[in-house]
Amino acid sequence: MARTVADFRTNNKPWWCPGCGDFAVMTALQKAAAKLGLDPEKVVVVSGIGCSGKLSDYFNSYGFHSMHGRTLPAATGIKLANRDLTVIAAGGDGDGYGIGLNHFLHSIRRNVDITYLVMDNHIYGLTKGQFSPTSDPGHKTVTSPEGTLDAPVQPITMALATGIGYVAQGFSGDPNQMADLIVGAIEHKGFSLVNLISPCVTFNKVNTYDYYKENLINLAVDEKYDSSNRGIALQKMMETNELVTGLIYKGESTPLEDTLPGYDNNPLVKQDLNIESDRWFKAMQKFA
C-alpha cells in the first residue's frame, strides 16, 4: 500500500523550540516510513527522556515512552516478542550515550534488528543546558561555567569498534539525506545506528547550524570513500573528529533473532505459550 508523510502524523502539536533540529528528524522519519510503505500499526517507536523523547507522541504508530537511558532494552523486548514489527528506538545524546551507554554497547553486540535514532545536540536541552556526553572540551554551560573538562564520547567510533553492521550520520540542515539514511537503517538486518546532528537553538550557542554547515564533510560526494570497509570508516572518523554526514559503514550481519536456538519464525505473540501439565511437572522435577 502506498503511504504518504501524512499517514505518520498525529494531531499532537510539537512543543519543541522554534528551529529545533528535532523537527527535521521527525520529518525525515516520516518521509522514510512513507518511502518504505510501512504500516503504522506494525511500527513501534520507543523513545527516552528528553526533548527527543516527544518523538513518539508526534509520529503516528505504536509508541512506548521509556525511562531515561532505557530505550534499547524496551525496544529489544518488543522486537523479540514480535519480530514482525518495525522497531525504532529514539533518544538524545544524554539518553543514549550517557545514562544508556551500557545498553548502547550491548545492543550492538546482541545485534537485534532495531533502528536506533539519536538526536545529538551536544547538550542537555530539556533540563536547561547542562553539558552532555558529547559536549566538546571547554564547552561552558550552567554545570561547567569554566568549561567542561571531560573528553567527549565518540559514538560512531565506538559503534564501529564494537562491531556494528550499519552506522550513518545525518544533519537537521539536510532532512532529505537524513530520510535516505533512515531508510537504509530500517532495511538493514540487525542493529543500526543513525546519529542525527540536531542543533539546540536555545542552550547550545556553539554547535549551531552555521557551525555544522561550515565543518561537516558529506561522505556521499567523496568518490574515494568506501563505506563497506570498517577500517577505512574508523580512520575517517579519527581524521574528521566524526564531523561527517552520510553512510559511514554498512556490512553484512545476522540479527540475533536468526541465531537464537529454538526461536521460531512465528512471532512469540502469535504462539501458544501454554504448557501441558505433565510437561511442566517433568520440567520442574529436574530442579527438585
Domain ranges of the chain: 5-257
**What nine digits make up the cell of 194?**
543513525
Is the pLDDT higher at 243 or at 284?
243
- Distance between CA atoms of 135 and 207, rounded to whole angstroms? 9
Looking at domain 5-257, which of 3.40.50.970, 1.10.443.10, 1.10.3720.10, 3.40.50.300 is its CATH number? 3.40.50.970
pLDDT at residue 156 in the model:
98
3 state DSSP class of 236: helix
What are the φ/ψ torsions at residue 264 (nearest 5 degrees)?
Answer: -70, 150
Asked if residue 273 has pLDDT above 80, the reply is no
Q: Return the DSSP state at 98.
A: I
Angle, CA 199 vertex, CA 61 and CA 93 arms, to 5°: 65
pLDDT at residue 134 in the model:
96
pLDDT classification of 269: cutoffs 50, 70, 90: confident
3 state DSSP class of 189: coil
pLDDT at residue 279 in the model:
83
Burial label, 95 (beta-carbon count in 10 A; 0-12, 13-18, 19+): buried
Asked if residue 265 has pLDDT above 90, the reply is no
Asked if residue 288 has pLDDT above 90, the reply is no
pLDDT classification of 101: cutoffs 50, 70, 90: very high
pLDDT classification of 7: cutoffs 50, 70, 90: very high
pLDDT at residue 200 in the model:
97
Q: What is the pTM of this model?
A: 0.93
pLDDT classification of 271: cutoffs 50, 70, 90: confident
- Distance between CA atoms of 78 and 209, rounded to whole angstroms? 35
Q: Return the DSSP state at 133.
A: T
pLDDT at residue 287 in the model:
82
pLDDT at residue 55 in the model:
94
pLDDT at residue 94 in the model:
94
pLDDT classification of 208: cutoffs 50, 70, 90: very high
| Other C-beta atoms lying within 10 Å of the C-beta of residue 276 | 8
Sequence length of the chain is 288
Nearest one of 19, 16, 13 to 208, comparing CA atoms: 19
**For the chain, how far is it from start to end, CA to CA, in angstroms?**
54
What are the φ/ψ torsions at residue 184 (nearest 5 degrees)?
Answer: -60, -40
pLDDT at residue 274 in the model:
82
Least confident of 21-30, 113-122, 131-140, 267-276: 267-276
Paired with 246 in beta bridges are 169
pLDDT at residue 191 in the model:
98
pLDDT at residue 263 in the model:
85
Nearest one of 90, 26, 84, 96 to 60, comparing CA atoms: 26
Helix segments in the chain, DSSP class H: 22-36, 55-58, 71-81, 93-94, 101-110, 155-162, 175-187, 209-215, 230-240, 277-285
3 state DSSP class of 208: coil
- Distance between CA atoms of 130 and 93, rounded to whole angstroms? 12
Q: Supply the mean pLDDT for the chain.
A: 94
- Distance between CA atoms of 55 and 58, rounded to whole angstroms? 5
pLDDT classification of 23: cutoffs 50, 70, 90: very high
Is the pLDDT higher at 278 or at 64?
64
